Amino acid sequence: MSAVRDTPVKGKMLRLTQLDVCGNPVLVNGWPVHVISKGFVSVEYEPEFDDGDEIEQKNADGDACVYEPGRRRVKFYNVTITVCGVDPELFGLWSNMPLVLDENGVATGMRVTSELNLDSAVAFELWSGTAQKKCAPGSAVQRPRFGYFLLPNVIDGQVTDFTIENGAANFTLSGKAIDGGGWGEGPYDVYLRAAGVVKLTDPIGDRDLLHVDWTMLPPPAPSPGIAARPADGPLVEDPTDATGMTVRFTPSFVPAAPGNTYTVDWGDGAVSPGPAQAGNVSHKYAAAGTYLVTITDGTTGVTRYKSAVVPFA
């Protein structure tokens, strides 16, 4: 069996997705409630073990009659995130503490209360760089790799230690990653394959705690607070080109004005301004292959990844 051998280097991005009381991603109009940030210093994963019960019975002469060793298992992971700066909506999503809003409804802070955080949870994703900077040899998709780490069900989120001193203040977030929940394949595409962008191909199971893998799909762009929904729609073959090398994007959703501008990066160096909803924009590729298409909101910078495989079959 062949295997990818590489080393995670540096943290690139993290994403917190709000979960409901059953561990399912919270969706608003089909869009997950989440925050994307690169404002962290470190992330620590510490497993908590159950050592099991050792069974030993000796006979009257002191010899072993029955011996069964205890078998260890990972109960959960303690996760600790050190963040630089204050991101109220990230803190609020993690801890379920109330936000402080200004007169315009902008989150400017948060308030820590003594209430137990029993009903909220988040899924925590982290992307790292790798030691191997070149693209994977022999791969159908020639792009650099990223490390991908997923904790699908983190509960008991708290904002803990911080120090105000003659220097930058770092804040600590702590939580407990448990099994269960309803993440499944997740609401996001996380892999770039030869056939395009896809979600988790092996859904998270009821006893799964941590998922670690490599991916050639880049991490999403950071969001200013809760990530706004970017433009969306299908990439299809342009019927006006008989060669099958032209791709058409027709948006089924465009963010409301005044933030309704966006761009389509076709993955080969060409960038097009996005059309209005129900309009379309096309692009012709010069060579066959799998291209990563990035749709970027012009106001928030939030990205959405799609893929174009040309020529169309």
Q: Which residue ranges make up each domain of the chain?
A: 1-52+72-227, 228-313
Second CATH level (architecture) for the domain 228-313: Sandwich (2.60)
What pLDDT is recorded for position 246?
A: 96
Summarised one tens digit per residue, pLDDT across range 65-91 is 999 998 999 999 999 999 988 889 999
Give the span between the Cα atoms of 96 and 28, in whole angstroms.
18
In which residue ranges of the chain is pLDDT below 50? none
Burial of 17: CB neighbours in 10 Å, binned 0-12, 13-18, 19+: buried
- What are the tens digits of pLDDT across the range 130-160? 887 666 555 556 678 899 999 999 999 999 9
C-alpha–C-alpha distance, residues 195 and 218, integer Å: 16
Q: What is the pLDDT of residue 140?
A: 53
The per-residue pLDDT for 138 is 55
Three-state secondary-structure class, residue 262:
strand
Q: Quote the CA–CA distance of 203 and 182 in Å, as a whole number.
A: 10
Closest by Cα among 2, 1, 171, 190 to 97: 171
Q: pTM to 2 decimals?
A: 0.90
